[in-house]
Amino acid sequence: GENVEQHPSTLSVQEGDSAVIKCTYSDSASNYFPWYKQELGKGPQLIIDIRSNVGEKKDQRIAVTLNKTAKHFSLHITETQPEDSAVYFCAAPKGGSNFGNEKLTFGTGTRLTIIP
């Protein structure tokens, strides 16, 4: 099965600066990497995802890069704003039997704080 590691666990960034969160995965067959944002007391919200046929995807201030050789992917948030403060989770397919490719294994999360 897949093992996902996420760093850093906490990140404080001055408003307007960029934030980068990195995840590594273990299964070279993994082909889908979503990022979720979770605000306090709420469910995770998909903010961007990438499939293994591309190396980068961008949506306004948010981008994700994927390095299949090194088996890591990163979330980049530019021009950070106070409303970006939340916990961010990366994920990858869990693998294995019983619909393993549809299940997700989540990273341990990064608590991002934007300092006004």
Partner 1 sequence: GAVVSQHPSRVICKSGTSVKIECRSLDFQATTMFWYRQFPKQSLMLMATSNEGSKATYEQGVEKDKFLINHASLTLSTLTVTSAHPEDSSFYICSAQRGGTIRPDTQYFGPGTRLTVL
Three state DSSP letters for the chain: CCCEEEECCEEEEECCCCEEEEEEECCCCCCEEEEEEECCCCCCEEEEEEECCCCEEEECCEEEEEECCCCEEEEEECCCCHHHCEEEEEEEECCCCCCCCCCEEECCCEEEEEEC
Q: Does position 42 bind partner 1 by CB under 8 A?
A: yes
Q: Does position 104 bind partner 1 by CB under 8 A?
A: yes
Ranges within 58-87 binding partner 1 (CB under 8 A): none
Q: Does position 27 bind partner 1 by CB under 8 A?
A: no
The CB-of-24 to partner 1 minimum distance in angstroms stands at: 15
* Nearer CB in complex with partner 1: 81/108: 108
Q: Which residues bind partner 1 (CB under 8 A)?
A: 31-32, 34, 36, 41-46, 49, 51, 89, 93-94, 98-99, 101-109
